[in-house]
Chains A and B, each alone.
Chain A
Amino acid sequence: MIVCPNCQHQNHVQASHCAQCGQSLSDAVYRVCPSCGALNPIDGQFCQRCLTDLTAPAAQAQPAPAPPDMAPEPTPIESAPAEPAAQPAKPNTKKREAKRKKRRDRKERAAQRDIAPLPDPAEGRQPQSPENGLAELGGDPLAGVSDVLPLETAVALPHRGSPPAELRSGHDEQEDARLFSSLASEPAPLTAAAQQVLPPVRAELPRWLKLVLALMLLLAACIPTLSPGWLPTPTTPSAGTNAMLSALSSLGSDAQVLVAYEYGPDHAAELDPVAQRVLEQLADQGVRIHLLSTEPSGLGLAERMLHGSDSLQGGLDRGQIQVLGLLPGREIGVRTLMRSVESAFRMQTVTSETHAADLTHTPTRISGFDHVILLGDDSRAMRAWIEQAPPTLHPLAIVTAQVYPALVPYEASGQLVTLVQGPTAAIELQASTSSRITATGATDGLAALFLVVLCVAILANVLPVKPGKTR
C-alpha cells in the first residue's frame, strides 16, 4: 500500500498516481520502522516516533522492542526480551550521504515494495506483516500514552517529511488523537454501491393552479344537482346489475339474508341509493334481513337507513329486520362470524327496551343464510370477507367505483357470485325514491368529470408551471 502525501489516501502498491486526488506517488514512499511500526519518509534516517536508526540493516532485522510504557503483549515476532525505550542514536553523516545517492534507486523499487498498512486502532492491534518486525502494542493503541513521543501523533497526523516531533504532546496533538479515535471507532463508510434513500422532494403545485382545479371540480360537482338532463341514460341495466336483481328476486318469504355494512358516511352518496333499493325490495318480498358491520360507522349508516325509510322502519318494528351488532377486529370478527353466529353475537340473554337482538330467528351458522350481501368502500375490508369466508359461501358485493376494479378477479374466480358498482347501478336502476340526484343528473355529472380530467391532462402538458414551495 502507498499512502498519498497529499490526501493520505491508501493506494495500491503498484499505483503511480493517487486514486483519490491524482497526486503523483513517486515521492510517496514510506519506510516502516522496524521498532515501532511507524511510517516515516523515505529519506528520513531516524524514526520520528522512537528515533530508531532506519538506515541500519541490523535494525530492520531485529524484532521490535516494546517501549516500557506501552501495553505489552507478546507477539510471535518478538523473540528477544523487550528493551527499554530506544535510546536516540548518534547521527551518522557519512551513512546519510550514502543513502541519498541510493534514493533514486529506491524510488523505482518503491512501487514494488509492500509497505505495511497503518495499524487499525479500532481493534486490538495484530501484527499485519510479521516479517516487517512490527511490535505488538496491545489492544488500545491510544493507551499507555506517555511523555515519550506520543504514539497517537504519529498515527493520526499525516506522514510528511518533518523534523522529529516534540517529546511532549501538545493540545493540538491530543485533539487530533481524540478525533482520530472517534473516527476510527465509527462504522465503515458507505461503499460506492450503497445509496442513502431520501424522501423525494416534491414541489407543490402553485396556489393559483390549485384554486383553478378546485373551481373546475366544484362546477362539475354542481351539475348532478342542477342537471337539465343533456345525456341519455341506459334503458337496460348491465349484466352485473341484472344478475343481482335476479338473485334477489328469487328469494322467498322464509329466506334469511345477511347484509354487511362495510362502508362509511364518506361513501354513503355512492352506495346508499342502491343499498336502500335492495333492502326495500327484500323487505317487500318478506325476506328476513340481518344487518351487521365490522366498522362502527357502518352500523350508524344501517340505523339511519332503517329509520329513514317507511317500509324499512316497518320491517324493523315487525322484527323482520334486525341489527345484529358490531364485529370489531375485521378479520377476527368475520372469522368468528363464519365459525358461529351465536359466538359472534352473544345477545340472547340481553333484553332492553331499546335494543333486543332476538336471535331465535337467526341462523346459528353462516351456512344458514340464503344470501350474504356485502356493501363496501374499502378493498381491504372486502378482501377480509372473501378470504375468511368458507369456499361454499359466495357473497354478492355492491361496492364503490374505487374498489370495483380491485375485486374483479374475485368475481372471475367465483368467490363473488356478483359484483356490482354502486354509482352506475344506481343510475341503471334509476336510483331510489329518497335520492335527490336523478339518474340523468348523475350521468351528466360523470360526463362533466371526464371533461375536467381531460382538461387537466391537456393543461398538465401544455401549461408551463413554476413549482410552488417544496416539501
Chain B
Amino acid sequence: MDYRTVLTTCTYCGCGCNFYLEVLDGQIIDTIPCKTHPVNEGKLCIKGWNVHEFVQSPRRLTRPLIRKDGVLTETTWDEALDCTALKLKEIKEAHGSDSIAFLTSAKVTNEENYLLQKFARAGVGTNSVDHCARL
C-alpha cells in the first residue's frame, strides 16, 4: 500500500490555489483543498475540485501531433518545433509579421507568458498578442 497526499498548485488558472492530490497506489483518487494556503484558504472552484479527474484522462494529449495528409499523427518534439518554425517563417515572408498573432494562456506561469510575448515582438515582429483570460 502506497498512500500519499501531495501538495500542488492548480493548473487551471493563474490564481495559484493549492490542494493535496490524494494518491493511492499510483492513482490520483481525489482532490483536497489546502486549508492553510493563503491563496485559497481551503476553498476551490468547480474546476479545481475535479482536477483528479482530468490528470489521468485517456483523452489527454501526451505527444505533439502534426497533420500529415489530413490525419493527425504523433511525432517528436524536434519535428513539431521544426515544422512550426518553418511554417511561421513562410507565413511571415509571404504576408508580413502582422499576419501572425499569438494567443497565450492563463494555465501557464507569468514567466512563460513573458517569453511568448517576447518571442512575438522581438522574434516575429508583431504586437498582436492576446490571452485566453480576456476572452
Answer whether A and B are interacting partners. Answer: no
Binding site for A on B (CB under 8 A): none
Binding site for B on A (CB under 8 A): none
